[in-house]
Amino acid sequence: TSPNKKLPPGPPGLPLIGNIHQLDNKSLWVTFRQWTHQYGPILYLNVAGQPTVILGNHKTAADLLDRRAAIYSDRPRWIVLEILTGGLVFAFCRQNDIWKRMRRSSHEALNPQIARQYFMFQEREATLLIDQLRKQPALYEEHLDRAGASLALSTIYGLPTVTDSHDARIVRVDEFTQRFLKAAMPGTYLVEYFTWMSHLPRWMSPWRKYAEDWFKRDSVWFESLFTDVIKRLEDGTQPPCVASTLLEEQDKKSFSGVREAAWMCATLYIGSAETARDIRNKTSGQMMWFVLAMTLYPEVQRKAQEEIDRVVGRDRTPTFKDFDALTYIRAIVKETLRWRPVGPIGIPHRLVQDDWYEGYFLPKGTICMANIWGLNLDSTIYGPDVESFNPERFLDADGNLKHSSGEIKEEGHVTYGFGQRACAGRYVANNSLFIQIATILWAYNVRLSKDSKTPDPAVVTDRGLGVRPEPFLCDFEPRAPEVLDIIAETKDRYELPV
Ligand code: HEM
């Protein structure tokens, strides 16, 4: 690089490998936060020759990933993943025509208006969830995961609630997600670093045969899930869901055939569910942090329950009709996402042309990652109590949700990412979190079990691309004797099994 093309500052690396040896620490977001304090809000890393920048404050991340989204919305190339998915999982697609088509259609199927179509699925799932939490409190993590996976299957394909987390469909998609995330993880396949290997003949590339074979098999599976929707639409038994909305889209020629639409649904399943045993579901991961917060902040729990009792009463479980009035619960949703984002460094973006920012040169092809975790804990934005779980930071003096101001996004946090790549499912995810949180707190007092050690909220278990709290046990104690009868009645109404 010429002397007038000054790169942003960053920790000094070694010849050839650059900073790669400094990135083996699992909690990268903590390392990135320390480096941001040391080197500033935009820091440069050389990852074995790959220029990489870490964006360490709201302004820098918004200036580049939001305001210059036109050139910062590409993704890096994952060679094996591309073959494994036929390049059709748009969350990981380059900024190409497939991504553009799918991104547009995902908006048609997941925008705030359409997201209302899924309220019934979400209320039904929250009902089953509270029933299972009471029956098997020790398995609460498994129940949260099941609820997330089942919800994904119903919103995407309109399927009935899946009550068993070992259901063949969940297991099948889990296995796919595991293969997928393994391929997305740095270091799994050498060809990602030594790209010349992609030109080796097929017999010398076992990874290629593996990925091609699975793409064929998975295509058959995802297409069958999708064509079943077509059959049910013909029979008149299909409730509105993402797949049925896409079929209307297909009439408008937004897709090139069933395969593309089927993989678009698969993308949304991966985006929302990620139920694989070792990785788990994003919404349920976020719910785990909520459960932990409730055990650590009983006064927040009490305030939330007061609001629920005032708005909903004790004769029925909460529904989306209560959404507007349950402001404190909506603030809890925001605070949960701010306090502990399940995806602390999100998914990397890639810059498509040379750029300049604040006097620094950013070469074409630079990988850009926002330190989501660090940004959500920025005390210059959120005040000195950033480490506390305090939903009130999102409320004004009259208890209304504050409008965002200055550098903070409308959401109040950056957990859903940036610009044209921001999470396509965020409205649906927010609604799921809202109804699950309101329903759990309507039914139960959530407490740490006597025989559980108190978890440290600063400690995270790293699950592939997502993070969760360290394991702990908790009790879900019914808030009144009638609760159990009302759960039984509500289950009946949603035609859930006894
Ligand atoms: C609490 C739950 C969730 C969180 C925290 C979350 C977070 C994220 C993040 C950080 C990104 C990357 C943003 C970026 O690159 O800047 C993302 C992308 C994405 N998410 Fe989510 N997500 C959640 C739930 C969902 C759900 C329920 C769906 C589907 C219904 C979904 C579908 C997607 C898709 C398709 C993308 C890729 C967008 C693109 O590359 O254009 N997510 N999500």
What are φ and ψ of residue 40, in 5° steps?
Answer: 115, 175
ipTM of the prediction: 0.99
pLDDT tens-place string over residues 50-106 = 999 999 999 999 999 999 999 999 999 999 999 999 999 999 999 999 999 999 989
The rounded distance, in Å, linking the Cα atoms of 18 and 15 is 6
Both tokens of 14, joined, read 């070694």
Nearest-CA residue for ligand 1 atom 20 is 423
- Integer CA distances (angstroms), 93 to 71, 89, 156, 359, in order: 15, 6, 20, 31
Q: 105 C-alpha vs ligand 1 centroid, how far in Å? A: 15
The rounded distance, in Å, linking the Cα atoms of 74 and 418 is 12
Question: Is residue 10 within 8 Å of 39, Cβ to Cβ?
Answer: yes
pLDDT tens-place string over residues 29-62 = 999 999 999 999 999 999 888 999 999 999 999 9
Binding residues for heme: 423
| Residues 454/140/180/350 CA torsion (nearest 10 deg) | -50
pLDDT for position 460: 85
How many CB atoms are located within 10 Å of the residue 294 CB?
A: 24
Binding residues: 423
Q: 353 C-alpha vs ligand 1 centroid, how far in Å? A: 25
Both tokens of 109, joined, read 């199927």
Q: 270 C-alpha vs ligand 1 centroid, how far in Å? A: 9
Is pLDDT above 90 for 164?
A: no
For ligand 1, mutation pick of 349, 411, 416, 428 (most atoms within 8 Å of CB)? 416
How many CB atoms are located within 10 Å of the residue 397 CB?
A: 6
Q: Whole-model pTM?
A: 0.94
The CB of 272 under 6 Å from ligand 1? The reply is: yes
- Reference 296, options 401, 433, 430, 390; nearest CA is 390
Q: Which atom of ligand 1 lies closest to the CA of 102? A: 41
The CB of 91 under 6 Å from ligand 1? The reply is: yes
Is pLDDT above 90 for 461?
A: no
Give the type of residue at 262.
A
3-state class of 19 per DSSP? coil
Nearest-CA residue for ligand 1 atom 16 is 417
Helices (H) and strands (E) in the chain, counts: 17, 10
The CB of 58 under 6 Å from ligand 1? The reply is: no
Is pLDDT above 80 for 468?
A: yes
Nearest-CA residue for ligand 1 atom 1 is 283
pLDDT tens-place string over residues 357-388 = 999 999 999 999 999 999 999 999 999 999 99
pLDDT for position 276: 41
Is pLDDT above 90 for 271?
A: no
Q: Which atom of ligand 1 lies closest to the CA of 341? A: 5
Question: Is residue 473 within 8 Å of 452, Cβ to Cβ?
Answer: yes
Mean pLDDT of the chain: 90
